[in-house]
Structure 1
């Protein structure tokens, strides 16, 4: 299988399926396409003509493309049932799907004001009321899951829900908003995960820069 991704420093959506492949040891070939370039869309469409021209995109051994982070995660869970990408328990699985979908479709204020830039440090900036409201909701989700399922990750062991929130942890490392003790500890555990560390290390080695994302007014 082949996974098309964007820059590790910036591409929060690419980070999610990459972590699942890497953490669970699922073999894949990585194809990194730099974002915000004149030919970015064309390079993606050359490999995935029927898709939206965005990353991430999974291309399986038969050439079938699957785009969108959550769709890729569902595909991996379906094809590799030996790995508990979703919780085995049905009720926990429904809960995990719900919080993952909420991350997928929500938190627009956080995304707009505290974008992912692993190499940057914007401590204390852009703490708008909307971003803080999104952070409060995320903290409530994390606290509920960790308390309900005992940790160390949202549903016990690392899975799709954690991968969906991993870029949030990267944002928190960059922007450093005030967090509860529970949320801060979860961010530390996510950051220390070997697959996450591998992504972070690669992001720091990249040389491609997107100027407007490297500056914060």
Structure 2
């Protein structure tokens, strides 16, 4: 590893957890080395044990510190390089943003399993069940509540881009790829995310990847 921090990630097309800290760091201009290990490959199996104590991605290396878990990495990045800018300034807004990020981090199991991350995917009539739809509805409720509070402060959930947006960015990719119907607030928020240069960089790189994970290639 170099003197710069290094972020170990999986495929950009499939790894939703990798996207979250990567997007935060890139959007805020934090310089880091990217170590990409394609998921479900011999290369991943051979190298991951030396890089991640959990054998999962993402993992951040900063000097002697080795940190796993997307949200924990985002919190560390916020303290280490962002001077707290990853969360809203106001205590109440910060609390609600953290609650939404935590709910995303720990919940929405049906959404995750039935609409797996696939950045290259385009809508094809695939459908999901009522449990996944309940997750979709809850996500839109969260988006709507935060946007209502911060609609005059910017285009992201709490006005300016931050950790809570990084946590929901893979959901926006899922919604677009599976053709999930969203309301006007959700559609505007997804456009704001998609317009981020860092998000476009990620998606362009994902489109160039050649690996295929069959379990994430669901068809209608």
TM-score (norm 1): 0.94
Deviation at 1:80, TM superposition (A): 1.9
Q: Distance in 1 between matches of 2:85 and 2:138?
A: 26
- State the match for 1:92 in structure 2: 93
Contact 1:41 1:54 in 2 (8 A): no
CA contact (8 A) 2:51 2:59 kept: no
Deviations 1:37-82 (A, max 9, x none): 134244111123xx2100000000x221110100000101111243
1:120 aligns with 2:121: yes
Flag structure 2 segments of 5+ consecutive residues without an equivalent. none
| Closer/same/farther in 2, CA of residues 116 and 211 from structure 1, 3 Å limit | same
Instruction: Indicate yes or no: 2:22 matched with 1:18.
Output: yes
| Whole-angstrom CA distance in 2 between matches of 1:178 and 1:7 | 26
Pair 1:192 & 2:195 matched:
yes
Superposition pairs for residues 40-79 of structure 1, below 5 Å?
Answer: 40-48=44-52, 51-60=53-62, 62-79=63-80
User: Do residues 204 (structure 1) and 207 (structure 2) align?
Assistant: yes
Q: For 1:56 and 1:133, how far apart are their aligned partners in 2?
A: 28
Number of residue-to-residue matches in the alignment:
214
1:34 aligns with 2:43: no
Structure 1 residue ranges (4+ consecutive) displaced by more than 4 angstroms after TM superposition? none
Query: Could you tell me how far 1:127 is from its partner in structure 2?
Result: 2.4
Residue 2, structure 1, aligned to residue 3, structure 2 = no
Q: Determine if contact 2:58/2:70 at 8 Å carries over to the other structure.
A: yes
2:181 corresponding residue in structure 1: 178
Q: 8 Å contact 1:24–1:83 — kept in the other structure?
A: no
What's 1:101 paired with? 102
Q: Retained in 1: the 8 A contact 2:124–2:178? A: yes
Q: In structure 2, how many angstroms separate the alpha carbons of the residues matched to 1:124 and 1:96?
A: 33
Residues of 1 paired with 2:77 and 2:177: CA distance? Answer: 29
Deviations 1:104-152 (A, max 9, x none): 0000010011111111224431321011100100000000000101241
Q: CA deviation at 1:83?
A: 5.5
Is the CA contact 1:118–1:200 (under 8 Å) kept in the aligned structure 2? yes
- RMSD over aligned CA atoms reads 1.3
Contact 1:116–1:170 (Cα < 8 Å) also in 2:
yes
